[in-house]
């Protein structure tokens, strides 16, 4: 009888696992720092950072403000005051974003402090964003664009999209549908980074 009860319990557990009904989603451990939060903001720009001059007649980028993943406030204008900014519009459910993110994360590390990358997560859930940021080693700050205001400001209709803003807030380039890291790297060297 005992064996029978144990076997039945095992069968029940197996059935529950098979239906996926008992598999609660794992949340990030509470002790882990929030990815994309204030700790991800850049250090001061290096002294003597060599940048290319911004061409005349370039339109201004929308100087929006928002909240990072940990709730701290951020103003884009403060970030682009002394160096270029790359805005990476993404969603954790976006397959194309996922495919390109590892390389973009590495590119951001390669240009750390010289170019500020800022993620903008839209139509997403904070827990899913955290999983995405950890899975793809995103070290830069990330705005939670819950109401889509930032995306709307930049006329971004769906992820992925990338926008390059020059020092001082000039709108240099935009890529609807996103851009691969090697192309973005080439444009950074061509348009903003000198030397």
Partner 1 sequence: MRRLWVALCLAPVLAGGAAGCGSDAEETRSATTVRVLVRDINIRPVGVDCAGTGPYTHFHNRAPFRVEDGGGATLAEGALSGGRSVPAFEEDLEVAKVPTYCEFRMPVQLARRDAYRLVVDGRAPIPLTANDSEGPALVAVVPS
Binding mask 40-79 for partner 1 (x = CB under 8 A): ----------------------------------------
Helix (H, G, I), strand (E, B) or coil at 118: strand
- Minimum Å gap between C-beta 116 and partner 1 is 27
Contact between 4 and partner 1 by CB under 8 A: the answer reads: yes
Tell the smallest beta-carbon distance from residue 94 to partner 1 (Å): 7
Which one, 40 or 133, has the nearer CB to partner 1? 133
Residues 6+ apart with CB under 8 A from 83: 45, 49, 51, 113, 114, 115, 116, 167
Cα 29 to chain centroid, rounded: 20
Site for partner 1 in 146-175 (CB under 8 A): 148, 157-159
Cβ atoms within 10 A of the Cβ of 161, count? 23
Cα separation, 128 vs 135, whole angstroms: 10
127 lies in the site for partner 1, by CB under 8 A: no
**What would the two tokens of residue 174 be?**
């935009």
Beta pairing class for 170-176 and 161-166: antiparallel
Helical segments of 35-136, H only: 76-79, 95-110, 126-135
Instruction: Please count the other Cβ atoms lying within 10 Å of the Cβ belonging to residue 131.
Output: 17
Give the interface size with partner 1 as a residue count (CB under 8 A): 29
Question: Cβ of residue 106: shortest distance to partner 1, in angstroms?
Answer: 22
User: Of the candidates 60, 63, 95, 127, which one interacts with partner 1 according to CB under 8 A?
Assistant: 95
**Closer residue to partner 1 in complex, CB, 63/95:** 95
Among 19, 47, 48, 73, which residue sits at the site for partner 1 (rule: CB under 8 A)? 19
The token pair that represents 29 in the structure block: 């451990």
180 binds partner 1 (CB under 8 A): no
Which class for 24: exposed (0-12), middle (13-18), buried (19 or more C-beta within 10 A)? exposed
Report the residue from 40, 88, 91, 116 that binds partner 1 according to the rule CB under 8 A.
91
Our finding on whether 11 is near partner 1 (CB under 8 A) is yes
Binding site for partner 1 (CB under 8 A): 1, 3-5, 7-8, 11-12, 14-16, 18-22, 91, 93-96, 122-123, 148, 157-159, 176-177
């Amino acid at each position: 009888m005992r064996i029978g009860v144990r076997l039945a319990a095992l069968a029940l557990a197996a059935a529950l696992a098979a239906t996926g009904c008992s598999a609660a989603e794992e949340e990030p451990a509470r002790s882990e720092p929030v990815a994309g939060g204030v700790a991800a903001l850049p250090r001061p720009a290096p002294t003597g950072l060599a940048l290319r001059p911004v061409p005349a007649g370039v339109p201004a980028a929308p100087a929006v403000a928002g909240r990072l993943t940990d709730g701290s406030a951020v103003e884009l204008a403060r970030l682009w005051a002394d160096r270029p900014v790359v805005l990476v519009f993404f969603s954790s459910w976006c397959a194309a974003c996922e495919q390109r993110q590892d390389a973009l994360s590495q590119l951001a590390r390669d240009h750390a402090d010289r170019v500020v990358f800022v993620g903008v997560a839209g139509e997403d859930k904070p827990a899913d964003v955290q999983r995405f940021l950890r899975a793809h080693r995103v070290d830069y700050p990330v705005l939670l664009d819950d109401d889509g205001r930032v995306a709307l400001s930049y006329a971004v209709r769906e992820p992925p999209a990338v926008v390059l803003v020059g020092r001082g807030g000039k709108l240099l380039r935009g890529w609807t549908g996103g851009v691969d890291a090697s192309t973005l790297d080439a444009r950074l060297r061509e348009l903003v980074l000198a030397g």
